[in-house]
Amino acid sequence: MSASDGDPETPAGAANAARPADADELAALVADAHAAERPLALHGAGTKQAVGKPLPPAQPVELSAFAGIDLYEPEELVLSAGAATPMHEIEAALTAKGQELAFEPPDLGPLLGTAPDGGTLGGALACGLTGPRRIAAGAARDHLLGAQLVTGKGERIRAGSRVVKNVTGYDLPKLICGSYGTLGAVTTATLKVLPAAEATRTVLLRGLNAETGVAALTAGLQSAYAVSGAAHIPHAAAARASDRHLPATDTSLTLLRVEGAPKSAVHRAEKLAREVLGAYGAAEILADDASRPLWRGVRDVAPLLGGDGRAVWRVAVPPASGAAVAARLAALDANGRWYLDHGGGRIWLDLPAGADGQADGVRGALRGVPGHATLVAASEAVRRRARVFSPQDAGLAALTRKVKAAFDPAGILNPGRMDGAG
């Protein structure tokens, strides 16, 4: 796999790694590092070390002691677990009770060149990983109710709570989610969980171009039928993934997902196919068995896997601008591939990496459109050279620095992981 082959990322289990046994030990360790201004690199399972900016030399801190589900009350829709709890363990516990993490966190193992199913809860939250269902159920940040963490000063902090409705003090869990371990070392996370849908149906349209595909997705999302996945995959990307996840195709795929009780899912899929999307061609309806792997593929960036020396970008734009921005991105490189998720609002793009992932070209394609581009997967050399996160304007950058300093005044936690953005 391209993204990290041969990269000497700070190796897990390095000789000088610290492995605090509990939160007090972790707090003491961070407090020492704070006093000595010694940088620390936080590790869960180590599967996300290739996301973000490579760190300068730093002492690895293994958070493996913070594993296991501490609390799961299905009727209260709440689960608390150690940050290093494997994601698959959490998913298994939830599945046994017919529930799930509704934000559909992707498994980026295959994209990042690590084994599938290797990630931890803390890693997913630190990276703010969110799947196709964001358009219906929100992102990771919408499901993190509380967290216990150690700040960059070595303070033990409880943020948030275990209840959904809580406005007591600042909403620090939101800030922690997606902060790539630069604000605190999370030891425990408390999440809102939800019942998993019994049935899934996918309405599939073939042969649309991006503009018409996004129009079809928009029509579906504007309907009353509660679309929970809306993706458009051009042929070049669909063809690569078809052996693994997607239906065989010689053209593009436009996909709309509905979920719910079986009768309801069938009803809504038929309404979509017949009444809402009739103008876009003959729609097929895929049942559970075909739908589920397909959306896992969309979630896990399966259409862009494979190839050497590539850079994979995640671009966020207003959904209705997705097709136009994708066209500009496609014009950057004849060997680029891309697909749209979130009704057009998320563009996954894969390009020959060049020296810096073609960062200027990618960000230039967003000119005049609100949004940003994040370099999610590329070799260490490329990430070292590229701006991994979008440059911020002066006001926002100043605020970001001050917020970082509020949690980590010496700048010792995952220093530089987020470029200037954290």
Minimum distance between the CB of residue 20 and other proteins, rounded to whole angstroms?
18
Q: Answer positive or negative: Cα dihedral of 60, 150, 66, 400.
A: negative
Select from 55-63, 158-166, 305-313, 355-363 the region that touches other proteins (CB under 8 A).
158-166
Cβ within 8 Å of residue 183, ≥6 positions away: 149, 151, 152, 175, 176, 403, 404, 407, 408, 413, 422
What are the distances in angstroms from CA 122 to CA 140, 176, 194, 377? 11, 10, 19, 19
Query: Any idea how long the chain is?
Result: 422
Minimum distance between the CB of residue 279 and other proteins, rounded to whole angstroms?
16
Residues 39, 106, 345, 415: which binds other proteins (CB under 8 A)?
Answer: 345
Q: How far apart (Å, rounded) are the C-alpha atoms in residues 390 and 420? A: 9
Task: Give the x/- contact pattern for other proteins in 302-321, rule: CB under 8 A.
Answer: --------------xxxxx-
Select from 39-47, 119-127, 133-141, 301-309 the region that touches other proteins (CB under 8 A).
133-141
Residues 404, 413, 414, 417: which binds other proteins (CB under 8 A)?
Answer: 404
Residues 5, 37, 76, 284: which binds other proteins (CB under 8 A)?
Answer: 76
Does 141 help bind other proteins (rule: CB under 8 A)?
A: yes
Angle at which helix 322-330 crosses helix 210-222, to 10 degrees, equals: 160
Query: CA angle, corner 185, sides to 190 and 175, nearest 5?
Result: 65
Select from 36-44, 151-159, 240-248, 351-359 the region that touches other proteins (CB under 8 A).
151-159
Judged by CB, which is closer to other proteins: 244, or 292? 292
Structure tokens at 54: 């490579």
Does 9 help bind other proteins (rule: CB under 8 A)?
A: no
Does 98 help bind other proteins (rule: CB under 8 A)?
A: yes
Q: How far apart (Å, rounded) are the C-alpha atoms in residues 162 and 164? A: 7
Judged by CB, which is closer to other proteins: 186, or 246? 186
Q: How far apart (Å, rounded) are the C-alpha atoms in residues 416 and 422? A: 7
Minimum distance between the CB of residue 196 and other proteins, rounded to whole angstroms?
8
Cβ within 8 Å of residue 15, ≥6 positions away: none
The answer to whether 55 touches 422, Cβ cutoff 8 Å, is no
Task: Give the x/- contact pattern for other proteins in 174-213, rule: CB under 8 A.
Answer: xx-xxx---x----------xxx-x---------------
Q: How far apart (Å, rounded) are the C-alpha atoms in residues 24 and 2? A: 39
Residues numbered 347-376 forming contacts with other proteins, rule: CB under 8 A = 370-372, 374
Select from 59-67, 202-210, 376-384, 393-401 the region that touches other proteins (CB under 8 A).
393-401
Residues numbered 204-263 forming contacts with other proteins, rule: CB under 8 A = 218, 221-226, 260-261, 263
